[in-house]
A and B are shown apart, each in its own frame.
Chain A
């Protein structure tokens, strides 16, 4: 459980002349659910873009295992990123394609599988997220929660070792959001994948997070890190406490409790 999968060293996030975050250092271990949290505008999404290779860091490094993402040759970088799956905030399904075509796209382009096998894999991936039989649908015909799940199923198409989620439960009702969290945890448990989540949903953070970092807007760096439950119990930093208790001044018990047991039906 403690093999580092992704390591960030001295990373600074910069837009033009303005520094958004500086000197970020953290390690994401294999098989853990890692949470990147912080208030709106603190640079969570920008950090996310750096981790998945969409933005090149001005300063600092991102390591996948021992390999630096940006020191590597473009071919090697492509290979590294091939092992990652990303679920974007809005699902980012290709709207002109059916769900089948969306999920099958990476499989047909990046593997040598025959059509029948691809059909089965797509059916399996859609079934995993509870969308069995929805192959013929276009994204616009689905609800927001279904689009997110379909996006997740596409992110998993190539059996990635690490999955990135940008606000997976944003815009979902509490019950659907809870189902999404359960799904993420189930996938981690059964697939053994590493999961990185950018979120500010307290229920998700405290419910399924194994480890976390807290980005601060004022000091522009990480002000707390560790398992979210532990941060909630032990952190002395008023900014972290306010965030994790939704500014409930009365005390820490106001925060949502972690579900007792994990069930997968």
Chain B
């Protein structure tokens, strides 16, 4: 590899003929850039000059030589120089004829995207508006397909529904258990430090119980399911879009909304409140673990305090909130999946977007509902 002769090109002038002489090995693996001499001859070139090539000293060659030749030919063409390629080896001439066989599409070179300043803001606003429209259309279509399946005009396969139930419910229990127990633990520890200041450790039970049931249980379950299931929905539907599977279903007479989206949405909407309840209890168990093992409180005391503090309406409120989250994250996942473009990176974008949209929805919905409950005094 090291025994390559450095490549050189020399341009010289004889009357009105420019001669470009190539020598050395013109190969891509050469470490040194080509040595160019006499290119200034082109500056004084006139319209009727000729450009000829000499390859007497040329060794090995590949694309490096070809690009240099094409540069020269194109450069000559802009100056109106006549280019004579007949002295080149047959292989090179053949390749050149292939290169110039199809004229370059000039209109296809796109200027790089350069939006600046306020235009970015404007585009963002337009994007949000368009996204909102798409969202509304999606909800509309979903409502129609739900209506159609309730009235028996369309239906999805029960097996799809049960598979999704499995995926959205039991399959998520381990991760929900881990996260909820730890959230309960953390709440209890934080409470222990603060409440311990005035000897009110027993109220940890109130804090953990109310915190988990009113807000944290549902919130954690919803966020976990956004990352776990809503992302799966988006990725599944997105790759079906990429493989034209959704088109195939449409052609076979299946409405993708009914056939794909509805069973997924229903499964998640039905399962999330149950997961929320489960998370509530796991959180309370986590709190009990801390209180009983580190503080001077018995399990009976802790449970007694929890039962006194947490009312049915608190649990109900958490579950209702979580049902709303379920609807929103299922929507986010399916919407982004169905919107997916047709490339590998589009699937990634759809998944990311599903999770981001889902979490934004959850947080906004939580804030709104908490405010409403506050006003109503629930």
Contact = CB atoms under 8 A, between A and B. Distances in A.
Contact of B101 (A95, A113, A190, A265): A265
B169 to A, nearest CB: 35
A115 to B, nearest CB: 12
Interface stretch (B9-17, B90-98, B260-268, B300-308): B90-98
B67 A121 contact: yes
B352 to A, nearest CB: 13
B199 interface: no
Interface stretch (B58-66, B140-148, B332-340): B58-66
A207 interface: no
B153 interface: no
A136 B344 contact: no
Interface in A96-136: 96, 107, 111-114, 117, 120-121, 123-125, 127-128, 130-136
B326 to A, nearest CB: 32
B131 interface: no
Contacts of B27: 159
Interface in A227-265: 264-265
Contact of B343 (A127, A138, A264): A138
Interface string B111-145: 00000000000000000000000000000000000
Given A124-B67, A130-B101, A264-B94, A95 B343 contact: yes
B253 interface: no
A124 B102 contact: no
B28 interface: yes
A183 to B, nearest CB: 8
Contacts of B104: 127, 132-133
Given A186-B98, A191-B95, A132 B28 contact: no
B84 interface: no
A96 B343 contact: yes
B342 A140 contact: yes
Nearest to B105: A133
Given A96-B343, A186-B94, A190-B94, A111 B102 contact: no
A113 B63 CA distance: 12
Contacts of A138: 343
A192 interface: yes
Contacts of B342: 95, 140
Contacts of B341: 140
Contacts of A137: 108
Nearest to A120: B67
A151 interface: no
Nearest to B90: A190
B375 interface: no
A128 B106 CA distance: 16
Contacts of A190: 90-92, 94-95, 98
A80 to B, nearest CB: 14
Interface string B342-353: 111110000000
Given A117-B67, A124-B70, A140-B342, A134 B94 contact: no
A173 interface: no
Interface in B49-75: 62-64, 66-67, 70-71
A136 B109 contact: yes
B70 A120 contact: yes
B105 A134 contact: yes
B29 interface: yes
A158 interface: yes
A136 B108 contact: yes
A139 interface: yes
Contacts of A187: 98
A120 B344 contact: no
Contacts of A133: 104-106, 108-109
Contacts of B108: 133-134, 136-137
Given A264-B94, A264-B97, A159 B109 contact: no
B28 A135 contact: no
Nearest to B30: A112
B287 to A, nearest CB: 47
Given A114-B33, A120-B71, A124-B70, A132 B105 contact: yes
Contacts of B29: 111
Given A133-B105, A133-B106, 5 more contacts: A117-B64, A117-B67, A123-B67, A123-B70, A264-B101
22 contacts: A95-B342, A96-B345, A117-B67, A120-B71, A121-B67, A124-B67, A125-B63, A127-B99, A128-B95, A128-B98, A132-B103, A134-B105, A134-B108, A136-B108, A139-B343, A140-B343, A158-B28, A159-B27, A159-B63, A189-B91, A190-B90, A190-B95
